[in-house]
Amino acid sequence: MNTQTELSKIEQFAEVLQRETIERLRNEGITYIGFEKSALVTIKPGKKYTKVDIGGSGKYMVDDEGNIYGIKAYGVIHRGHYFGTLDTINDYYWGNYRAYKK
């Protein structure tokens, strides 16, 4: 996968994650001023993995092949928490604390 294509797919993943998280917060009645900040998604590329953080916390890591994993600790991948690939992001609901297959 070329780097530009991968980054574009990670950006799409980040948009879906942020949108679904904000929708869930609104549905739960959480609408304090600036609550969207807690759902702000940032992308941090690394040597082996790209970190996808939400709010001020680590959430997911994406490897060079586009596989999405949860984390054990910040910067530490958890291979037991596998959430598909960048090509299957629409098969999951990302708005909860942990993603689940639709």
Please, what is the average pLDDT of the chain?
A: 90
DSSP code at position 52: E
Number of folded domains that form the chain: 1
State the Cα–Cα distance between residues 15 and 35, nearest whole angstrom.
17
State the Cα–Cα distance between residues 59 and 57, nearest whole angstrom.
6
Residue 41 belongs to what domain range? 3-101
Q: Stretch 38-65: mean pLDDT, rounded?
A: 93
Cα-based angle 9, 68, 10 (whole degrees, multiple of 5): 20
State the Cα–Cα distance between residues 41 and 6, nearest whole angstrom.
17
- DSSP per-residue string spanning 5-39: HHHHHHHHHHHHHHHHHHHHHHHTT---TTGGGGG
Residues 6-42: pLDDT tens digits?
A: 679 999 999 999 999 999 988 888 777 777 788 899 9
